[in-house]
Amino acid sequence: MERLRLRYVLVLMVVIMSACKEDHEIQPASYSKMLTGEESKTWEQVSFTYIFNDTEVGEMNANPIYGIPSCALDDQYKFYRKGKLLEAFDSGEQCDPDADDLLFKTSWDIINANAKLYLGGNDYVLSKLTDDSLVFGFRDTLVAPVGNNTFWEYPGIAQWVYKSIK
């Protein structure tokens, strides 16, 4: 009797577990499609901000910290789905009027369970990716001298915000 009950419980558990099984269709490319669209998608910078870990310090424009000239703020970045290619274009105010509009080409990838954006040999923290918003950055520590051999360190993240161009 006890053996029959055990067999019944085991059969019941197998039936329940197989009934609860869901078929998950894995589509790793669907997340990256927000970055590229069906074939390609162009993005432009909205902001580049240094966000301090200390919330009392706040945040500041990161362009002057990292030496980004104002003529580069309107550049456009086109992500291609095929071949995972990224092209950067000098648009609007040109930094070098005699140079080609195409600034560079490189590769891209989304890695580590969608937590990192890989751009041409560097990986960045991918904070947000939607159809019309891309937010990524890198961790850094700003160092400020305050006296002889005395420095203050300000850890944080340098973060870009981009919007897609329709």
In the chain, what are the domain boundaries? Answer: 35-164
Query: 120-135, pLDDT tens digit by residue?
Result: 999 999 999 999 999 9
CB atoms within 10 A of CB 88: 18
CB within 8 Å of 159: residues ≥ 6 apart: 48, 49, 50, 51, 62, 127, 135, 136, 137
CB 71 within 8 A of CB 120: no
Tell me the CATH number of domain 35-164, given options 1.20.1530, 2.40.128, 3.40.50, 2.60.40: 2.40.128
pLDDT band at 9 (very low <50, low <70, confident <90, very high): very low
Higher pLDDT, 7 or 86: 86
Query: 89-116, pLDDT tens digit by residue?
Result: 998 888 888 888 999 999 999 988 888 9
Range scoring the smallest mean pLDDT among 1-5, 92-96, 111-115, 149-153: 1-5
pLDDT reading at 5 higher than 80: no
Query: 28-58, pLDDT tens digit by residue?
Result: 457 889 999 999 999 999 999 999 999 898 8
Q: Write down the residue that tokens 């019309």 correspond to.
A: 132
Cα–Cα distance for residue pair 153/140, rounded to 1 Å? 10
- What is the maximal distance between C-alpha atoms in the chain? 91
Q: Look at residue 114 and give its three-state secondary structure.
A: coil
Q: What Cα–Cα distance (Å) separates residue 19 from each residue in 9, 11, 158?
A: 15, 12, 48
CB 104 within 8 A of CB 121: no
Please give the mean pLDDT across all residues of the chain: 86
Q: Kindly state the percentage of the chain with pLDDT values over 90.
A: 63
Q: What Cα–Cα distance (Å) separates residue 103 from each residue in 22, 69, 95, 98, 111?
A: 47, 14, 10, 12, 25
CB 161 within 8 A of CB 45: yes
The residues with which 76 forms a beta bridge, in sequence order, are 44, 89
pLDDT reading at 14 higher than 60: no
pLDDT of residue 34: 93
CB 56 within 8 A of CB 69: no
